[in-house]
Amino acid sequence: MTRTIVASAKREIIIGFDQPFCVIGERINPTGRKKLAAEMVEGNFDTVCKDALEQVAAGATMLDVNAGVTAVDPNATEPALLVKTLEIVQGLVDVPLSIDSSVTAAIEAALNVAKGRPLVNSVTGEEEKLEAILPLIKKYDVPVVAISNDETGISEDPDVRFAVAKKIVERAADFGIPAHDIVVDPLVMPIGAMGTAGRQVFALLRRLREELKVNTTCGLSNISFGLPHRHGINAGFIPMVIGAGMTSAIMNPCRPQEMEAVRAANVLNGTDKDCMTWIRTYKDHQPSAAGAPLAAAVPPSGGDAGGRRRGGRAARAGARG
């Protein structure tokens, strides 16, 4: 059984097929958040702290930490900023962290101060990346996210993306890094632009699980890019990828609809033992608040139909024609 172990100073988490889905909170990331980027450059980490606390409160299993403020020379500025951000976050919450940077020096600087066993996000199949990141993964004995693209970019052919993932796993093995420390991101395309994007990912996830036997992750909300009511698409995608074998995702845990889908899929996948997390979270849930967007448009129906079909069959058992 593939088990990827990540840890903070105090808490160890296992990513695996028999584990609850690992929700990696994506919020601490200045990319596309101008205000946050400006704050971080000024040394103001109020939003970082707020995002850390809110994501953990909302149920994040881990937090991704990115300090890519796109300065003129990230190689010069990002290492110190990532170290500072990481230290603040690991001083505030006790979930394991993911060190997210495209700057190798920043990753190494963060690995030097990180407590426990962080996840490194990420390496790709690009030769330069493999040579830069894999030695660090080996040296610090940490797991890494492997993104299925290489020098040729992101292939639309899932077989090519599988081949890139396989190459990364093999190259890691050359460095003495076991497959259970590689968490493959098969790359999720927007379904609005490519109608096969969902089926591609589901098929890829099965192959990654059955052939490479690796854990997997993705940037979850990419799937709904460009569509209305993105949370509804995301919330449908989560059970489908979990059913196909995905074991983690980088996502926003502060979205209740998505987190409800994660919790439901954990129940259905048998990783929420005795449904305890579900029952604890929703035991006081009021049906009237079920709150789907079309609720107001549909007249209330009489009584709860739940279980009727089964009851009906049982009730009819003695009345065969």
Query: Between residues 43 and 309, which has the closer beta carbon with respect to a copy of itself?
Result: 309
Q: Is 207 an interacting residue with respect to a copy of itself (CB under 8 A)?
A: no
Q: How far apart are CA 255 and CA 112, in angstroms?
A: 33
CB of 112 to a copy of itself, least distance (A): 15
- Strands of 247-305 (E only): list them: 248-251
Q: How far is the CB of 304 from a copy of itself (least distance, A)?
A: 8
Shortest distance, CB of residue 164 to a copy of itself, whole angstroms? 15
Cβ 161 to a copy of itself, closest distance in Å?
15
Q: How far apart are CA 163 and CA 313, in angstroms?
A: 49
Query: Does residue 43 touch a copy of itself according to CB under 8 A?
Result: no
The per-type count for the chain, helices as H runs and strands as E runs, is 11, 10
142 phi, psi to nearest 5 deg? -130, 160
From the list 106, 145, 168, 212, which residue makes contact with a copy of itself (rule: CB under 8 A)?
Answer: 106
Site for a copy of itself in 44-83 (CB under 8 A): 47, 51, 54, 57-58, 66, 68, 70, 74-75, 78
Select from 98, 104, 216, 248 the one that contacts a copy of itself (CB under 8 A): 104
Q: Are 32 and 258 in contact (CB under 8 A)?
A: no
The dihedral of CA 177, 178, 180, 182: what is its sign? positive
Which amino acid belongs to residue 42?
Answer: E
- 224: contact with a copy of itself by CB under 8 A: yes
How many residues touch a copy of itself (CB under 8 A)? Answer: 117
Q: Quick check: 316 binds a copy of itself (CB under 8 A)?
A: yes
- Distance, CA of 214 to CA of 59 (rounded, Å): 24
Nearest alpha-carbon partner for 51 in 14, 88, 13, 79: 88
**Subset of residues 164 to 183 that bind a copy of itself, contact rule: CB under 8 A:** none
| Residue corresponding to tokens 């079920």 | 290
Give the shortest CB-207-to-a copy of itself separation in angstroms.
15
Cα pseudo-dihedral 15, 21, 22, 24, rounded to 10: 150
- Check residue 31 for interaction with a copy of itself (CB under 8 A): yes
Contact call for residue 41 and a copy of itself (CB under 8 A):
no
Pairing assessment for the beta strands 22-25 and 62-66 based on DSSP bridges: parallel
Q: Considering beta carbons, is residue 43 or 228 the nearer one to a copy of itself?
A: 228
Decide: 27 and 56 in contact? Cβ < 8 Å.
no
Closest to 184 measured CA to CA, from 116, 246, 95, 253: 246
Residues 265-284 contacting a copy of itself, CB under 8 A: 265, 267-270, 273-275, 278-279, 281-284
Contact 128, 83 (CB under 8 A): no
Closer by beta carbon to a copy of itself, 7 or else 133: 133
- Asked if residue 1 binds a copy of itself (CB under 8 A), the reply is no
Which residue stretch of 3-11, 110-118, 168-176, 185-193 sits at the interface with a copy of itself (rule: CB under 8 A)? 185-193
| Residue closer to a copy of itself (CB basis): 7 or 241 | 241
